[in-house]
Amino acid sequence: MLGNLSALGQQNWGLFSAGIIIVAIALFYRGFENSKVSSREIAVIAVLGAVAALGRVPFAALPSIQPTTFLVVTSGLVFGSRAGFMVGATAALVSNFFLGQGPWTPWQMFAWGLAGFTAGLLKKLFPGTGRRGTLFFLAAWGYGFGWIIDFWFWTAFISPLNLHSFIATCATTFGLDTMHAAGNVLFYLAFGTGTVKVLRRVKKKIAVSSLQAETFQ
């Protein structure tokens, strides 16, 4: 009897946490839908999300090493928090059509979305953040992404739910998280400068096109 109650409580915590994540994602999408975003910017965000998703697929055989986090963070740095979240969430959803959908999908959408969102905040609050700061931020999100996914696994499958069991859960994936962090850094070192320049150029063209459209209205 006690075992059944314990299992029921465990299941309820997993469902409750998943529900919160789904609601949070829905609110972000609703906020983006209600915001004043041009059709050109929507198209760019959709393309960036697709590129980040497809970039994940060829690296599926390499544990935790993929360019998705790097692309999501650079998108947030250039286009802002809201766009960064949309790119991250879209990348997770689209890539899982190739790699497999499951209960982990909303958590991946939230984790990558949050990476893009906080990248936008970083650029807004600390506009002088340079190369070193960005590298540190990318490395930190290698672990942050893993801890969010670990939290899902912890609430859904681990018992009892306490600080000790959560730390133990995170410890089992520390190696993979470290590889993720290292991969983020390497991708930025190899492609960061060029990617940021291209995205800034695209953003500038969107701004000019929007200004011209307003002028001729």
* Torsion (CA) 191, 81, 102, 97 in degrees, nearest 10: -50
pLDDT of residue 62: 83
pLDDT of residue 8: 44
Residue 216 in this model has a pLDDT that exceeds 60:
no
Amino acid type, 80: G
Q: How far apart are CA 107 and CA 126, in angstroms?
A: 27
Cβ atoms of 79 and 196 closer than 8 Å: no
pLDDT in tens, 88-98: 999 999 999 99
* C-alpha distance from residue 186 to each of 68, 135, 178 (Å): 12, 9, 12
pLDDT in tens, 21-57: 889 899 988 888 787 777 888 889 999 999 999 989 8
Rg over CA atoms, the chain: 19
Residue 75 in this model has a pLDDT that exceeds 50:
yes
Output 212 or 176, whichever has higher pLDDT: 176
Sequence-separated contacts (24+) of 191-196 with Cβ below 8 Å: 191/67, 191/70, 192/70, 192/74, 192/131, 192/134, 195/70, 195/71, 195/74, 196/74, 196/77, 196/78
pLDDT in tens, 84-136: 999 999 999 999 999 888 989 999 999 999 999 999 999 999 998 999 999 99
* pLDDT, average across residues 159-177: 94
2-215 has CATH 1.10.1760.20 classification: yes
Domain ranges of the chain: 2-215
Indicate the pTM of the whole model.
0.88
